[in-house]
Each structure stands twice: as C-alpha cells, then as structure tokens.
Structure 1
Amino acid sequence: MSFVHYSQPTLLELQKKAQASTEKAGKKGRAMHPVVIQGRTIAKSYWGKAWCDTIESYADYSSRLDRGKRYVRGGTVIDLQIKKGVVKALVQGRRVRPYKVTIEIQPISQTRLNKIKKVCEKRITDIEALMNGDFPEDLQELFLNKEGLFPGPRQISFDCSCPDWARLCKHVAAVLYGIGAMFDENPFLFFELRGIDVNSLVSEALVNHVDQMLSHAHVHTKRMIDDKDISDIFQLDVK
C-alpha cells in the first residue's frame, strides 16, 4: 500500500489563501464570522479558557490538538457560526477551497438541567450577576463539574470535508479552539450552543424562589403569636 505525502503549507501560505477565500465570500454577499486571535493566548475569559481546558482534558483529543492551535492562531478559521447544538465553520487548508467543519453536541438532559435550576434558586444574587454579564465563582464551579453544562467527549461528534482519515483532524481541532475564542467575545454563546435560554433559566429561578418565600410566609411557626395570645397578653379585644 502506498501513501501520498502532502507537504505542509507555511503559515503565510495559509493566510494568503484564507484572505482570498474571505474576499471571494464577501463578493458573494456571505456574512463571515472569522476567529481572530490576538497574541499567543487563544482564550482569555473564564468561559473561553474553561472550554479550552475541558477540550484538552479529553484523552482522545490530546494527540491532535497542537496542530489545531497552529491553525486557529494563524487565522485559518475564516467563518464560525454557533447555533443550538451545532457549530459550522470554514477552515482554510492547503487547498484553494476551505474545508467545511461541522461539530454537533448532544443536548443536555432535562434531569441534569433541573438539578442546575434547583441550585440556581438558592443563589439568586449570583443569578442576578449572571444576567449582568458577570460569572460568579460559585456558578462557575457548578457549571464545570461532571453534572454541569460542559459536554463530555462522547456527547461531541464532528465531521470535516478534508481528506484526512483521522477522526479528529487539525481543522476540527482549530474549530474546537475557535469556539473558546468566540466565548471571549460573547459568553452567552455557550448557553446558545447548549440549547439553554439564559433568560428562562434566570426567570424560573427567580419565580421559584419567590414562590418558596411566599409559601414559607404562610407556615405557622412557634415564633408567631395567635390572636388569642395577643388578647391575653395585652388585654385587647382582637377580632
């Protein structure tokens, strides 16, 4: 069996092809969302770094991720679109036409989501901070644990139009890192990807918390004084 050896393009060659592909798409009126990395650090925000750290923790991915870093830093991910449960991207490779990458993520189970909602009900202050664009440490730990919102390796599937026979090619790896970079720009894209409506998550937590408070307000405890006791203590006619 003979194997065809392909020479690896230089970063400059990839960038020139990426620019040409972007200009061509622009002439056709296609809106592109490229991944732009400033410096060596791919993701700087908590959510971006958490995504990249999670991906790197998967043993099945470890051997291919380094080449993906080179590609994403080089500006080869010329388009990346994040929707509910799916990411579609164009990655410039050695060929003239960019490769099409699709990453699909299984939806979070309702059981796991319900557990997260119950925890959120007890952390209303943190939820309010979440709505303001902040990500409190307590909620970060909640979302990152095994029962949290981040998907496991078996919940992620991907496909690339390149001829690489490997399950995880460098183009897919570049997109995985590109997702983390996109979370830097808009952390709420994470919830979009996982199919979770943040506004709904927050409003449900608030409503349930208020309902719980109101239900407790009607509970008769030993600290409450009956009308008869008030009458006896203060010698009043309570009606």
Structure 2
Amino acid sequence: MSRYGNYGGFGEYESKAQKLAKSKKKIAALKKKNPDIEPILIEGRLLARTWWGKAWNANLEKYSDLSNRLERGRSYVRNGSILDLQIHAGYITAQIMGSGSSIYKCRVDISPLSEKTWQIIKKQSSGSIASIGELLSGKFPKEMQELFAAKSDGLFPASSEIKKSCDCPDYASLCKHLAATLYGIGARFDHKPELIFTLRGIDSSELVSAVVESHKDDLISRAKKANKERQLKLKDKQLSKLFDIDFEMPD
C-alpha cells in the first residue's frame, strides 16, 4: 500500500453527504464571525430551477473558454462548498471551501451593460412586460426571454466582459473555485433575480416605465373615460336620492 492509502494521493474519500455536512459546519462557524454571509445551498442535482438561473448558466456555457472548465465547479456547488456569495454593482465576491478545509476567496468583475444595449432592450420590451412582479418571476413572453438572453446584446455578459481572480494556488484561467462561483451566481438569481440588474448597473423598473410610456396616450384616454363614467354614476345616484326616482343608466 502506498503512503497515500488507496486514493492515489488524493486523501481519504468523502461522500457528498460528508462534504455537505463539513460545509454546513464551516458555514455555521463563519456566521458566528459574520452573520451577513450568504452561502449557496441547493437541493437535488439541478444547479438552477428558474428561468433567470438557467439563462445565466446557459449563457456561460455558450463560450468555449468557459464551458470547457465549468464542469469542475458543479460538484462544489452541489456539495455546499460556496460558503458565501455576494453580488454587488459590477462584481461578485465569494468564499469557496476547497477539497480540504482551506477557504479560497474569489472575485468576478462584470462589465456594466452598455447604454446602447439597454436602450435596445427597453425599446423592444415595450408593451410586453406588465409589472415588476411579472418580470422577476420570469413569466414574460418567449420573445422577451430570447431578447434578454441574446448572446451579443442581451442582459447577460459576454465572456470578454467577465474578469476572474482566485487566491488559490491553481494558475488556470478558470479554477474549480471560480467555476463554482460562476454557477453559484445562477443559483442566487433563482432566489433574487433582481440582482442581475444590480450586477449590470441598470434599473429594472425602467422596463416597466417604458411600457407605460409607450401606452401613455391610451392609458390617459382610458383614465378619462373611467372618470367620466364614475362622475355620471355619482350624479345619477344623487338625482335618484333627491327625487326618489331611479335615474341610473344601464350598463
């Protein structure tokens, strides 16, 4: 038997359950020092369940320089190794537990969405999104999903707009910890899709405002008509009360 046991120098085998238990223990210890940490813990094997999370992951997998190494991070996400992941305007920070007990710090910088692309998205979305709730739930028309997820001018960043760094000793352009971080972002969007707008430096409410603006004249006309009808009905009720006669107009 070699001095490494039966595992070829990689240490004792740990099951997924053991890794998850170790991660949860580490998360609990970190929370005592910083209660604001936000770990990524997923149930089952799916890395993302909502449209926003799936669309983020699908966008990453479009780029060969990322997709060839992303697989390395999937098991880390499933094992609860993302001890903390924070999304800010323009960047993401994460703490990832390595194969041992070491914690590595990752940072991913994302370029802001260009004003030109944002204007195109707002214009083409006009009339298709009724509310912020509808937008964030992912329940908007398929053509809008395709617009948001477009490779060249959608909401999600191109590979060239993603800058990555990790303090681990792996000098690869995309180490396991960074791969886990990228997938962890999609998992976070499952629960907080509004953070994609924060990350790209844009205001999601502008999409709904664009809808209102595009239908402004129609909305004003409807409001005036509704107000006129209310005034007529009020007048009818006042006359009916005064003369004890039913003046109410039929619907």
Structure 1 residue 120: Cα displacement = 2.2
Instruction: Give the gaps of 5 or more residues in structure 2.
Output: 1-7, 221-251
SS in 1 for 2:58: helix
Q: Are positions 1:206 and 2:212 aligned together?
A: yes
Within 2, Cα distance between the matches of 1:6 and 1:92?
Answer: 19
Partner of 1:141: 146
Q: Is the 8 A contact 2:23 2:83 kept in 1?
A: yes
C-alpha distance 11-162 of structure 1, shift in aligned 2 (>3 A)? farther
Within 2, Cα distance between the matches of 1:198 and 1:96?
Answer: 39
Partner of 1:48: 53
SS in 2 for 1:66: helix
Counting aligned pairs with the same residue, the percent is 41
Instruction: Give the gaps of 5 or more residues in structure 1.
Output: 215-239
SS in 2 for 1:64: helix
Partner of 2:76: 71
RMSD: 2.4
Partner of 2:130: 128
Amino acid at match of 1:167: S
C-alpha distance 213-15 of structure 1, shift in aligned 2 (>3 A)? closer
SS in 2 for 1:104: strand
Partner of 1:221: none
Amino acid at match of 1:67: R
SS in 2 for 1:90: strand
Mean Cα deviation higher: 139-148 or 201-210: 201-210
Structure 1 residue 66: Cα displacement = 1.2
Partner of 1:100: 105
**TM-score under structure 1 length normalisation:** 0.78
Amino acid at match of 2:79: G
Partner of 1:193: 199
Select which of 179, 187, 196 maps to 1:181. Answer: 187
Within 2, Cα distance between the matches of 1:70 and 1:52?
Answer: 15
**TM-score under structure 2 length normalisation:** 0.74
Q: Is the 8 A contact 1:101 1:171 kept in 2?
A: yes
Deviation per CA, 1:155-196, whole angstroms, max 9, x where unpaired? 001111111010100111011111111111122222222122
Q: Are positions 1:32 and 2:37 aligned together?
A: yes
Structure 1 residue 68: Cα displacement = 0.4
C-alpha distance 212-102 of structure 1, shift in aligned 2 (>3 A)? farther
Structure 1 residue 211: Cα displacement = 6.1
SS in 1 for 2:48: coil
Structure 1 residue 210: Cα displacement = 1.7
Amino acid at match of 2:181: V
Partner of 2:10: 7
Partner of 1:59: 64
Amino acid at match of 2:45: R
C-alpha distance 175-183 of structure 1, shift in aligned 2 (>3 A)? same
SS in 1 for 2:163: strand
